[in-house]
A and B are shown apart, each in its own frame.
Chain A
Amino acid sequence: MAAKLPTTIDETLKLLTSADYVADRSLATSVFLALAMKRPLFLEGEAGVGKTEIAKVMAASLGRELIRLQCYEGLDIAQAAYEWNYSRQMIEIRLAEAAGEKSKDKLAADIFSERFLIKRPLARALEGAPGKAPVLLIDELDRTDEPFEAYLLEVLSDFQITIPETGTLKAAEPPIVVITSNRTREIHDAVKRRCLYHWVDYPDAARELDILRRKAPKAAENLSREIVTFVQRLRTVDLFKLPGVAETIDWANALVALDKIALDPQTVNDTLGVLLKYQDDIERIAGQEAERLTAEAKAAAAA
């Protein structure tokens, strides 16, 4: 069931919250504008702050199909947009020859018809009916290379794909486009210019606690508080990779699985690998630092 698009920022905020995504007002503004102006939304931020999740939540709450394009180096048109079904085309040529078809032009028109076109995510995203356009998630655009970015320009600005053999594929209704980037490389300004930009930051303590209540409901209230305070403090330490929200949720679930109802230094040390993903970071925090942070978190959570 396709839901109606929100008409104000407050409605957008409510919509995202109803799908268990705790957004702040700045993100809701960007999402609302992207929907209203029919512009792609460009989300940048550290890993694990919930960029991909936004697209999923938008698709779920609006009742739209989610089409995901995971980017990687060397991604080309055949995998991203469309491909011809060569083997079927070959068979078609043989059949036509056997039937005595002589006209090259007619044959070309026959085999380059939509029947033989295999549509990949970008082309499928342009097929939405009015009011039911899908959500297109172009995930981790920074992983691909510059030529693919250039190819995206046509899709993002005009919502169309030009196929040299047949013509142009144009969307009846433009898809809702969400692009994410982990910033391992700067994306070209030409792409960003066509999008609405939003930097997704780590949440503040109140919002993170709210997220934890929704995403790890089994964790005791007190434990959740301690976890959030611990992680928030951890983010002020000079680490190679700071823990994201995803790590916080994982950690809470891990502690629940271990039947913990409060933090203690031993458990923190044992489960640090859930939060920190680099050996030097773990080495730095494990032991005294972990003990200090745990004590601080307990004191702050109790207050």
Chain B
Amino acid sequence: MLLVPESTPGHGKLAENVMHFARILRGAGLRVGPDRVIDCMKAIELAGTARRDDFYWTMSAIFLSREEQRPIFDQAFQIFWRDPKLLEKMMQALLPATYGKTGREEQEQSQRLTDALFNKKRDEPEQQPEQKIDLDAKLTFSSREVLQRMDFDTMTAAELAEAKKMLAQLRLPLPEVRTRRQAPDARGARVDLRATLRASLRGGSAMIPLVRTAPKTLHPPLVVLCDISGSMNPYARMFLHFLHAITNDRDRVSVFVFGTRLTNVTRQLKHRDVDVAMTRVADAIKDWSGGTRIGTCLHDFNFKWGRRVLGQNACLLLVTDGLDREAGEGLAEEMERLRMACRYIIWMNPLLRYDKFEAKPAGVRAMLPYVDRFLPVHNLKSLIDLGRMMGEPARRTTLSRAKRTH
């Protein structure tokens, strides 16, 4: 079977190969529907297959929808249009681990299915039997209360599992911001002439009722930067569950995690199923429980992502204990830049649970002047409090005043 496209365009074979190529791209995580395959055939017919680079750019124009996909597309193109068979083999060997669905994931799914069917609690690996506290299947109000107060790092696995369930129901009501878009409102200041005219034609009286509009309000985009270094370990996992809940609750949430480097996990967290999402996040993160380089990671964020995700009045949620391996070097500059790019910064710090916590570490001192709100996040209650506090309109402290007080 000759599959090289440069040979005489035997149309049937080419179409078949394009289809296979599209399927491989789809398997690698690109959103390539059947419509694009048809488009691609049309485009190839128009552009011709005489030159390999034309062929490449034609397919690139059709199949890509963001520049980040190019490396994957490049690899697939290089291998496939030399020998499609080879690629299929490589895909089976390589890709499942990085992209697309994994075998392991299905196994976990089925494990969870068994749990659901037989109502059996799954044993977490870190669980210690002697510490196990039996919980009623139905939580009473008081046990819920106890859980809320308990620190994440002193919880047993069973308690953690319950806490995760509660987290999944938690929502984050951010204060809404006014947009320039108008919506009907009986007490609005502006008159919608178009609607008024239509209404006047409908009614029979000589009076023309005015239809009014007012500016619509909308949740601002939320950007979360979450520390996953060693010192944050007991909290970060819980927090990821919380982030999963809010990512799926509304639009325009971007989540980044950082330790020694910055990882964007927004797409991974978008999966509806929390366990699948967690598996994908775990796969994406290469620096779990390592050191912290807050300054470097914020620098990366400012340079690569700041302008892309902090538009339209975004709110920034910073989750870190502020313990920096680089002792706060360059941190102040990056915080200042961050502060200027977003609407307000909320810092959640698990160390705040200790009453005697003082802003001693260099990293904490460097960051504090630029933060609008400084909150504890060591247990469920603090997360619920957080939801409440963020619902209130935040008053932004001016930079100069903040600098003077610290």
Chain B at the A interface: mostly helix, strand, loop or mixed?
helix
* A192 on the B face (CB < 8 A): yes
Which residues of A lie under 8 Å from residue B31 when comparing CB positions? Answer: 189, 193
B105 within 8 A of A: no
Contacts A184-B307, A186-B66; is A33 near B47 (CB within 8 Å)?
Answer: yes
**A238: which of B42, B47, B303 is its contact (CB, 8 Å)?**
B303
State the CA gap A146–B333 with chains docked (Å): 33
CB within 8 Å of A: which B95-151 residues: none
- For the complex, is B395 an interface residue (Cβ under 8 Å from A)? no
Q: Is B355 an interface residue (CB 8 A)?
A: no
Is B358 in contact with chain A by the CB < 8 A criterion? no
Complex-state Cα separation, A294 to B302, whole angstroms:
28
Q: What separation, in Å, do the CA atoms of A186 and B333 have in the docked complex?
A: 27
A199-B181 in contact given A37-B42, A146-B251, A184-B308 (Cβ < 8 Å): no
Q: Does A26 contact B57, Cβ atoms closer than 8 Å? A: yes
CB-CB contacts below 8 Å: B177-193 with A: 179-182, 193
Asked, given contacts A74-B181, A193-B33, whether A29 binds B67 with beta carbons under 8 Å apart, the answer is no
Least Cβ distance of A278 to chain B in Å?
A: 9
Task: Check if B2 is an interface residue, CB within 8 A of chain A.
Answer: no
What are the residues of chain A within 8 A of B54 when measuring CB–CB?
A: 9, 25, 29
Instruction: Please tell me which one of the listed residues A29, A145, A193, A238 contacts residue B312 in the complex, with CB atoms under 8 A apart.
Output: A145
- A259: min CB distance to chain B, Å: 36
B197–A84 touching, CB < 8 Å:
yes
Total CB contacts across the A-B interface at under 8 A:
102
* B35/A29 in contact, CB under 8 A: no
Specify which of B179, B194, B303, B312 is in contact with A240 (CB 8 Å cutoff): B303
B62 touches A145 (CB 8 A): no
Question: For A142, what are the chain B residues with a Cβ–Cβ distance below 8 Å?
Answer: 311
Interface residues of B in 233-283 (CB under 8 A from A): 251
In the assembled complex, the CB of B378 is this many whole angstroms from the nearest CB of chain A, namely 34
Q: Knowing A25-B53, A26-B60 are in contact, say whether A165-B308 is a contact too (CB < 8 A).
A: no
Instruction: Name which residue of chain B comes closest to A239, CB basis.
Output: B303
Say how far B195's CB is from chain A's closest CB, in angstroms.
11
Does A2 belong to the interface (CB within 8 Å)?
Answer: no
Residues on B with C-beta less than 8 A from A36 are: 46
CA distance A218 to B349 in the complex (A): 59
What CA separation (Å) do A32 and B64 show in the bound complex?
17
The interface size of chain B toward A, counting residues with CB under 8 Å, comes to 42
> What per-residue 1/0 map shows which CB atoms of A31-72 lie under 8 Å from chain B?
011001101000010000000000000000000000000000
Chain A contacts for B46, CB-based, 8 A: 32-33, 36-37
A44 → chain B closest CB, angstroms: 7
* A165 partner residues in chain B, CB cutoff 8 A: 198
Quick check: is B201 within 8 A (CB to CB) of the other chain? yes
Q: Is there contact, CB below 8 Å, between B311 and A37?
A: no
Residue of B nearest to A25 (CB): B53
Q: Are B312 and A189 in contact (CB under 8 A)?
A: no
Q: Which residues in B have their C-beta under 8 angstroms from that of A30? A: 57, 61
Residue of A with least CB distance to B306: A240
Residues on the A chain within 8 Å of B66, using CB: 44, 186, 192, 197
Residues from chain A with a CB closer than 8 A to the CB of B60 are 26, 197-198
- In chain A, what residue has the closest Cβ to B44? A33
Task: Say how far A186's CB is from chain B's closest CB, in angstroms.
Answer: 7
**Could you tell me if B179 and A196 are in contact, using CB atoms closer than 8 angstroms?**
no
> Does B47 lie within 8 Å of A76, measured CB to CB?
no
A76 touches B181 (CB 8 A): yes
14 extra interchain contacts, Cβ-Cβ under 8 A, other than A25-B57, A29-B54?
Answer: A30-B57, A30-B61, A33-B43, A33-B62, A86-B193, A86-B194, A90-B197, A107-B201, A145-B312, A146-B251, A165-B198, A185-B311, A193-B36, A198-B61
Q: Give me the 10 closest cross-chain CB pairs, A-B, nearest first.
A: A74-B180, A29-B57, A86-B193, A192-B65, A199-B67, A196-B61, A26-B57, A184-B311, A30-B61, A36-B46
A-B contact pairs, 13 of them (CB 8 A): A9-B54, A26-B53, A26-B57, A29-B57, A33-B61, A74-B181, A76-B181, A93-B200, A189-B31, A193-B31, A193-B65, A240-B302, A280-B333
